[in-house]
Amino acid sequence: MTAATAYGNHAIEDPVVVKTQAVSPPVEESTLFEELYQMKCFRTGEFYLKSGQMTPIYIDLRRIMSSPRVLRMAAQAMCDKVVAKNIKFDYVVGVPYAALPLATLVSDILNVPMLMKRKEAKAYGTKQLIEGVYQPGGTVLLVEDVVTSGESIRETAEAIRKENLKVTDAIAVLDRQQGATANLAEDDLNFLSFLTMEGILDGLITKNEMTEDRKQQIIEHLAKPF
């Protein structure tokens, strides 16, 4: 029997219990910032993004998979937001690769099935681009780690929509605030994030690692078209 839940109709046999809110109190932005700071996820210098743009600040959330506690906290933060916004979905898909561990935990915390989108289809086996068990017509929530332009989310949504699945919402741990919200809206995707670049820069000011002037310079740099 398929179980209908607050998150939609699951294509799995067992009754589903949504267990999100009872598990732990909501994650605070400042708490997650501190954990990411301690894990050295924020680096200033000269780095290049997927888009080719130079950035004076690089945010590497791939590091958090090395701490199950912090990884879970980041996933919980996204779950809190999804629940607060009352977003409904039947499947969770992480944008490959960095968001895959996060998506796994979001799937576990919300008890919603996960699917996996490959970067490239394999040339052997089933040759599928989307792995997992799903019913056409189901709705997918996309999970990202860090978003810049939103292009990776857009590409993932496109591949998922080709499988006759719906995608209306995407959530990330962090938005670099470089146009993703507007870009994704053009593709009928609502985008939410738990943290923002501005919040990270403010946090680095409190750590005496950045001045207000430098923050403004960085914001101006990141606002340039790329």
Interface with ligand PRP (CB under 6 A): 50-51, 95-98, 144-152, 180
Instruction: Provide, rounded to whole angstroms, the least separation between the CB of residue 188 and ligand PRP.
Output: 17
C-alpha dihedral sign at 109, 166, 169, 175:
positive
Instruction: Provide, rounded to whole angstroms, the least separation between the CB of residue 216 and ligand PRP.
Output: 23
Strand order in the sheet with 139-147: 130-131, 114-117, 91-94, 139-147, 166-175, 190-196
Kindly tell me the burial class for residue 106, based on how many C-beta atoms sit within 10 Å of its own C-beta (0-12, 13-18, 19 or more): buried
Token pair, residue 108, equals 């576990």
84 or 219: CB nearest ligand PRP: 219
Instruction: Provide, rounded to whole angstroms, the least separation between the CB of residue 136 and ligand PRP.
Output: 26
64 or 180: CB nearest ligand PRP: 180
SS3 171: strand
Q: 57 vs 140, 141, 222, CA distance in Å? A: 31, 28, 9
Which helix (H) or strand (E) segment holds residue 41: the answer is none
Instruction: Provide, rounded to whole angstroms, the least separation between the CB of residue 111 and ligand PRP.
Output: 25
Strand pairing partners for 196? 175
Report how far residue 216's alpha carbon sits from residue 222's, in angstroms, rounded to the nearest whole number: 10
29 or 151: CB nearest ligand PRP: 151
Q: How far apart are the first and last CA of the chain?
A: 50
Instruction: Provide, rounded to whole angstroms, the least separation between the CB of residue 212 and ligand PRP.
Output: 27
Instruction: Provide, rounded to whole angstroms, the least separation between the CB of residue 110 and ligand PRP.
Output: 21
98 or 222: CB nearest ligand PRP: 98
104 or 149: CB nearest ligand PRP: 149
98 or 189: CB nearest ligand PRP: 98
